[in-house]
Amino acid sequence: MFGKIGTGELILILAIALIVVGPGKLPELGKTLGKSISEFKKFSNEIKEEISLEDKKTK
């Protein structure tokens, strides 16, 4: 259910973003969103690595 966005949902999200933000700011918003997602993934991977290392230490 979550995590699977279809074509219809994607078009609806883009249409709402276009109305709310405007066509001039939409590329900037996309760039910022992409950077945010990238940073979140990087942080998530670092946490997973730390947990894995701590788990290995306790065994």
Which residue in this structure is represented by tokens 């990087």?
Answer: 42
Determine, yes or no, domain membership for 40: yes
* pTM for this prediction: 0.61
Determine, yes or no, domain membership for 38: yes
- pLDDT tens-digit map of 16-39: 988 988 888 888 988 998 999 999
Neighbours of 4 (CB within 10 A): 6
Planar angle of CA 39, 42, 47, nearest 5 degrees: 125
Range of the domain at 43: 24-59
Determine, yes or no, domain membership for 45: yes
Determine, yes or no, domain membership for 2: no
Q: Encode burial over 11-22: b for 16+ CB neighbours within 10 A, e otherwise.
A: eeeeeeeeeeee
Which residue in this structure is represented by tokens 């933000």?
Answer: 21
Determine, yes or no, domain membership for 49: yes
The domain total for the chain is 1
What share of the chain in percent tops pLDDT 70? 95
